[in-house]
């Protein structure tokens, strides 16, 4: 039983695939006993204009500020954003990052340069070569890590959610260990963290993203900053898998996990 439960990755109705209001999410988080929540609505830089992200983020930040006022000290609320594909439209990314005073920036890669989000791929298409896509994925994540305008990299095994989780095409991550090590080392050198995304526990995948071996590897390489996020798009998924992940982090050798306020990691004891 843990008393300091934090969820650092959630989406409100201001994300194209979100469903509930920020205030409803915050009230629910407090009701189920969380100490803090980060609202991290999507900013998919490659679709910045098409999906109207300028207005979406403005509304998200407004809603979060309002919720902070209304919730008072009942819940710690981090004003976050999930910054997707920043290198595919750096101007859009920097415009939004310079406009708002975020507490937390989750840097993610959902789509390779010029391609659709892995979620939308037709995996029966014979022209898709999974191995090449995985290599591209890690190389583009390394580039994103080098750019570095974020706090924590989101779900570093994202394609696995769809390739193995949904489509049952096996992927051996050991083939990419050199690239994964380079990614983790780059993040550590730059003072950035990784997240453990618990969404896979309630989906076909059945594990966190990343799973235990990579979490352990990050620790072995000296990684300390690690957040836990449900990636909830519905209130009922908020907080999901957080305690399970805290146990896993302890087993991997961590003494602390992180929750961000004012772009600084609060190191919270795994106790
Ligand atoms: Zn994501
Ligand atoms: Zn997300």
The pTM of the full predicted model, rounded to 2 decimals, is 0.97
| Per-domain boundaries in the chain | 6-269
Ion ligand 2 nearby residues (CB, 5 A)? 82, 231
pLDDT in tens, 111-168: 999 999 999 999 999 999 999 999 999 999 999 999 999 999 999 999 999 999 999 9
CA of 108 to the centre of ligand 1 (A): 6
Kind plus residue range of the DSSP H or E element containing 265: strand 264-269
CA of 18 to the centre of ligand 2 (A): 9
Could you give the count of Cα atoms lying within 13 Å of 231 in the half-sphere of its Cβ?
Answer: 19
Q: Which residues contact 157 (CB under 8 A, 6 or more apart)?
A: 173, 209, 210, 211, 214
Q: State how far Cα 63 lies from the chain centre.
A: 20
- Using the predicted structure, report yes or no on whether residue 271 has a pLDDT greater than 90: no
Task: Say if residues 68 and 27 touch (Cβ distance below 8 Å).
Answer: no
Closest ligand to residue 118's CA: 1
Closest ligand to residue 81's CA: 2
Output the CA–CA distances (angstroms, integers) from residue 179 to 30, 111, 189, 264, 265, in the order listed: 39, 18, 15, 27, 26
pLDDT in tens, 161-188: 999 999 999 999 999 999 999 999 999 9
Closest ligand to residue 158's CA: 1
Chosen CATH of 6-269 out of 3.90.1150.10, 3.20.20.140, 3.40.630.10, 3.40.50.1000: 3.20.20.140
CA of 208 to the centre of ligand 1 (A): 13
CA of 154 to the centre of ligand 1 (A): 6
């Amino acid at each position: 039983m843990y008393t300091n439960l934090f969820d650092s990755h959630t989406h409100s109705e201001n994300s194209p695939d979100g469903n509930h209001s920020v205030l409803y999410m915050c009230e629910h988080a407090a009701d189920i006993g969380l100490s803090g929540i980060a609202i991290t609505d999507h900013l998919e830089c490659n679709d910045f204009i098409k999906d109207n992200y300028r207005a979406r983020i403005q509304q998200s930040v407004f809603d979060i500020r309002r919720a902070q006022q209304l919730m008072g000290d009942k819940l710690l609320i981090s004003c976050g954003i999930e910054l997707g594909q920043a290198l595919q439209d750096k101007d859009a990314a920097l415009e939004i990052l310079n406009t708002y005073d975020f507490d937390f920036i989750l840097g993610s890669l959902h789509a390779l340069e010029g391609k659709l989000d892995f979620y939308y791929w037709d995996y029966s298409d014979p022209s898709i070569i999974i191995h090449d896509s995985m290599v591209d994925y890690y190389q583009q994540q390394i580039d994103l890590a080098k750019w570095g305008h974020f706090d924590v990299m989101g779900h570093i095994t994202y394609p696995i959610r769809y390739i193995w989780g949904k489509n049952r095409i096996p992927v051996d991550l050991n083939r990419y260990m050199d690239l994964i090590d380079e990614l983790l080392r780059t993040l550590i050198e730059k003072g950035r963290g990784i997240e453990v995304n618990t969404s896979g526990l309630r989906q076909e995948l059945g594990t966190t993203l990343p799973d235990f071996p990579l979490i352990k590897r990050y620790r072995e390489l000296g990684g300390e900053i690690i957040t836990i996020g449900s990636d909830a798009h519905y209130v009922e998924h908020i907080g999901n898998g957080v305690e399970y992940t805290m146990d896993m982090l302890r087993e991997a050798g961590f003494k602390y996990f992180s929750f961000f306020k004012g772009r600084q990691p609060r190191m919270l004891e795994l106790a």
